């Protein structure tokens, strides 16, 4: 059967730390998501905790009621815009710091039902996906169009 690929354009885009999202189809997307899930403590988080010394706290998982209150409110806010900017910019240290100080920010969703995990997949940034998962953010929910974050990978 016919091959694919060829043509100009570069390969997969690396994240600021060198993680590369796959260029292939759904199988590669699933593999990439699984790799992200297997990482429990991303290097940036370890670094942040080390820098803060003995007073550092591990990520706090908010109560489910708190998460639901934020997660089920789909709206465009200053906080959702800030999260999009941090994720789209690949600012892993800023994301770590924000989620350590306010873990509920990871569960924000904009008016289209997307949130930090969708934006991380859209940016093809495996390290940010790992950070979000370490903070308990799911990668299997759906937006208003029924798309999961991994569906945004090419």
Q: What CA–CA distance (Å, rounded) separates 48 from 81?
A: 23
The CATH code for residues 26-52+61-152 is 1.25.40
Asked whether 77 and 111 are in contact (CB, 8 A), the reply is no
Model confidence pLDDT, tens digit, residues 28-72: 555 555 555 444 444 444 444 445 443 445 567 889 999 999 999
Mean pLDDT for 73-99 is 95
At residue 154, the pLDDT reads 77
Gap between the terminal Cα atoms of the chain? 21
**Element containing residue 36 per DSSP (H, E):** helix 26-38
Given a contact cutoff of 8 angstroms between Cβ atoms, the answer to whether 96 and 45 are in contact is yes
What are the helix (H) ranges across 72-115? 78-88, 92-101
Residue 153's pLDDT band (boundaries 50, 70, 90)?
confident
In contact, 96 and 49? CB cutoff 8 Å: no
Predicted local distance difference test score (pLDDT) of residue 1: 45
Per residue in 116-148, pLDDT tens?
A: 999 999 999 999 999 999 999 999 999 999 999
pLDDT at 85 over 80: yes
């Amino acid at each position: 059967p016919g091959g694919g690929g060829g043509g100009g354009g570069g390969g997969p885009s690396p994240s600021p730390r060198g993680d590369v999202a796959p260029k292939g189809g759904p199988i590669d997307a699933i593999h990439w998501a699984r790799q992200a899930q297997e990482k429990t403590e991303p290097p940036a988080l370890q670094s942040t905790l080390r820098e803060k010394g003995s007073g550092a706290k591990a990520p706090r998982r908010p109560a489910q009621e708190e998460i639901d209150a934020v997660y089920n409110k789909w709206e465009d806010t200053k906080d959702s815009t800030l999260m999009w900017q941090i994720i789209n910019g690949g600012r892993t240290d800023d994301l770590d710091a924000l989620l350590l100080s306010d873990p509920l920010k990871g569960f924000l969703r904009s008016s289209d039902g997307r949130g930090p995990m969708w934006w991380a997949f859209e940016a093809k940034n495996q390290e940010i996906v790992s950070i979000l998962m370490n903070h308990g953010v799911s990668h299997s929910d759906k937006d208003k169009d029924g798309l999961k974050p991994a569906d945004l990978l090419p």
